[in-house]
Amino acid sequence: MGTPAVEIYGPIFIGVVFNIALYGIMVTQTYLYFQVYKRDRTWMKLLVFLLFICDTVNCCFDVAFLYIPLVNNFGNNDAISRASWSAAFGDPFMTAFIAALVQFFFAWRVKVLTSNIFAVCVICFCSFAQLCGGLGTSIAVGRIPEFVHFQKFQVIVVIWLAFSAVADTLITTALVWHLRRNKTGMALTDTVINKIIRLTVQTGLITALCAIIDLVLFLVSPTGLHLIFNLPLSKLYTNSLMSSLNSRTGWQYSESSQAMSQNVERSEPQQRGVPRGVRNVNMLKSDVGRRQGPQEIYIDVESHEMVDVVDMKGSSYSGGDGYVPDQKAAPMAHSRGSDSPPLHAV
């Protein structure tokens, strides 16, 4: 057996380091959110701001969790063996409150996407139960501050962490199930959906797994080893929400550009054997980067009704009844050299 400083405050120190490191990531993500998504709904901006304030308060309490016994009460063995007031309020209740805010947000997202009221109610019930469990754990720590006696209130800790893990798992399952059911078979949309599924699984799995490990270590180990996973838990929730919000621009542009370039590469080998009787042009690509030499136009013809035209700069436009073709494409067709292959009529 080691000293109380090693067995208890060693894990606390590691947990606080992880907490502050994740807080730095949260600060960056919050700044990026308010810079990029200025048109988001007011309530969503207020939620992000509230989470940032809660994370800041939680960091202050965790630092005080270390500072009070190790600095203010240096050499006092009784102070080292007892949890301070900052530990009672700053960790269990603040973590549960932050988790509830994040889980309620994802429950709203499940409602918007799936319209499954039953799933939303179950998620909200689990989130509210873990909030009550976190509040009860804070009260229990305030009444029984000795670390060696923490096992006396196992039930309330189990309620807190177990319902938190269940809520995270339900959110991940509901979102992944709905997204997989709504795949269209088109490269653009399916690529975006796959990225959202990966992000949803990763963020939901991290918080659920951390809560489960925290619970298991609390039940099997009388030392403070579980605090390595407990103290950073609140930052994992806020960063999972912020990464989900800040990834929306990437879903829109990066994956669509990648899928578009793949379509262009697939269209090039098919330019010479254009079949007859087809109706629509799918892709138009013009090599305008070179001023010298003949201009080339690549046409990929398919039998579906969607029309995507790529202009000289690479931007995509969807054709329709009111679509006016780019006037720059017509002179390019007449400027081809004698060696250019003939343009098939559609």
DSSP secondary structure, 236-259, as one string: HHHHHHHHHHHTHHHHHHHHHHHH
**Residue 191 and residue 327 in one domain:** no
Cα 128 from Cα 136, distance rounded (Å): 12
Inform me whether the pLDDT recorded for 212 exceeds 70.
yes
**Residue 77 and residue 134 in one domain:** yes
**Residue 57 and residue 163 in one domain:** yes
Q: pLDDT (tens digit, 9 = 90+) per residue, 131-146? A: 999 999 999 988 888 8
**Local structure of 82: helix, strand or coil:** strand
Q: pLDDT (tens digit, 9 = 90+) per residue, 77-113? A: 777 777 877 777 778 999 999 999 999 999 998 898 8
Q: pLDDT (tens digit, 9 = 90+) per residue, 147-201? A: 878 888 889 999 999 999 999 999 988 888 877 776 666 766 667 667 767 766 7
For residues 195-224, give the mean pLDDT: 81
Q: Please give the residue that has the higher pLDDT: either 148 or 39.
A: 39
* Amino acid (one-letter) located at 15: G
Q: How many domains does the chain have?
A: 2
Give Rg (Cα) of the chain: 28
Q: What is the pTM of this model?
A: 0.69
Residue 341 φ/ψ region, left for φ over 0, alpha for ψ in the -120 to 50 degree band, beta for the rest: beta
**Residue 189 and residue 68 in one domain:** yes
**Residue 289 and residue 211 in one domain:** no
For residues 239-261, give the mean pLDDT: 67
**Residue 329 and residue 184 in one domain:** no
Q: For the beta carbon of residue 199, count every other beta carbon within 10 angstroms.
A: 17
Enumerate residues 6+ apart whose C-beta is below 8 A from 25.
Answer: 235, 239
**Residue 144 and residue 287 in one domain:** no
Token pair of 62 as six digits = 């965790």
CA distances from 212 to 32, 98, 255, 286, 343 (A): 31, 17, 34, 55, 64
**Residue 146 and residue 47 in one domain:** yes
Query: Is the Cβ–Cβ distance between 295 and 335 less than 8 Å?
Result: yes
**Local structure of 100: helix, strand or coil:** helix
**Residue 309 and residue 234 in one domain:** no
Residue 203 within a domain: yes
CA distances from 12 to 58, 227, 318 (A): 14, 6, 57
Most confident of 30-39, 66-75, 197-206, 274-283: 30-39
**Residue 201 and residue 301 in one domain:** no
**Residue 247 and residue 127 in one domain:** yes
Give the range of the structural domain holding residue 279, as residue numbers without chain letter: 271-334
What value, to the nearest 5°, has the Cα angle with vertex 276 and ends 272 and 278?
105
Cα 315 from Cα 327, distance rounded (Å): 15
**Residue 170 and residue 250 in one domain:** yes
CA distances from 252 to 33, 178, 188, 189, 259 (A): 16, 19, 10, 10, 12
Give me the CATH number covering residue 131. Answer: 1.20.1070
Comparing CA positions, the residue from 91, 29, 79, 89 lying closest to residue 243 is 29
For residues 299-307, give the mean pLDDT: 46
Residue 191 within a domain: yes
Where among 224, 256, 288 does a domain terminate?
256
Query: Is the Cβ–Cβ distance between 169 and 212 less than 8 Å?
Result: no
Inform me whether the pLDDT recorded for 66 exceeds 60.
yes
What's the 3-state SS for 142-182?
HHCCEHHHHHHHHHHHHHHHHHHHHHHHHHHHHHHHHHHHC
